[in-house]
Chain A
Amino acid sequence: DAKTTQPTSMDCAEGRAANLPCNHSTISGNEYVYWYRQIHSQGPQYIIHGLKNNETNEMASLIITEDRKSSTLILPHATLRDTAVYYCIVSYSGAGSYQLTFGKGTKLSVIP
């Protein structure tokens, strides 16, 4: 699976959009980009994933660049409960069971 690079930490004002970047310059054509978050040592929680098109769900939006070498997770109106560590993971999408490799992620602090 391709490696990812994320900033160590970010701050965001409550009510503003949080934009979390991720670089994955060695991603291959059949690898998805996944985003998870972990709130205070709870089990990681799935947020969103995508292959090449932008994606949106009730939690967030995922913007993937045309060359697929980077992506941005957008939390449109951050709340204090969004304070967490956010993990960007690239993983093969084919049949079979594959691993998710978690890096250290980005610690997002939402500030009142």
Chain B
Amino acid sequence: NAGVTQTPKFQVLKTGQSMTLQCAQDMNHNSMYWYRQDPGMGLRLIYYSASEGTTDKGEVPNGYNVSRLNKREFSLRLESAAPSQTSVYFCASWGDRRARADTQYFGPGTRLTVL
């Protein structure tokens, strides 16, 4: 049971390049999330998916697209990377929020630098 996994761990892009960050969870959770964290700041929500087939914008969606490929996988795409997108990206998942012991689980992060 790996929890939430993210690939790649590190990435360097040039301005204008595109890339997709991959996220997968093996806990059969319905909801999945993408956050970014800039130095010295808290996490900010980019997009989330309440269930397979649905996606919604979070606080900072501009410049990103997402795909909920199936229940396990939720990808984040940067179509034309900009230096302002240099950040650490975290994926998270959450099962049934009504369950007493349920919590949000986070992946280890992808450290992205855009030159």
A residues whose Cβ falls under 8 Å from a Cβ of B: 34, 36, 41-46, 49, 87, 93-105
B31 at the interface (CB under 8 A from A): yes
Q: Is the CB of A98 within 8 A of B97?
A: yes
17 contacts between A and B (CB under 8 A): A42-B109, A43-B90, A43-B108, A43-B109, A46-B103, A46-B105, A49-B103, A95-B97, A97-B48, A97-B51, A98-B97, A99-B59, A100-B104, A101-B59, A102-B44, A104-B41, A105-B42
CA distance A34 to B35 in the complex (A): 17
Interface size class of B (residues with CB under 8 A): 20 to 34
Cβ–Cβ < 8 Å partners of B41 in chain A:
104
CA distance A100 to B104 in the complex (A): 9
B94 at the interface (CB under 8 A from A): yes
B residues whose Cβ falls under 8 Å from a Cβ of A: 4, 30-31, 33, 35, 37, 40-45, 48-51, 58-59, 88, 90, 92, 94, 97-98, 103-109
CA distance A49 to B103 in the complex (A): 9
Cβ–Cβ < 8 Å partners of A105 in chain B:
42
Cβ–Cβ < 8 Å partners of B37 in chain A:
41
Indicate the member of B4, B48, B88, B104 with the most A CB atoms within 10 Å.
Answer: B104
- Contacts A41-B109, A43-B109, A45-B106 known; A95 to B42 CB distance under 8 Å? no
Cβ–Cβ < 8 Å partners of A87 in chain B:
42
Q: Is the CB of A97 within 8 A of B42?
A: no
Indicate the member of B37, B49, B59 with the most A CB atoms within 10 Å.
Answer: B37
Contact of A93 among B35, B51, B98 (CB under 8 A): B98
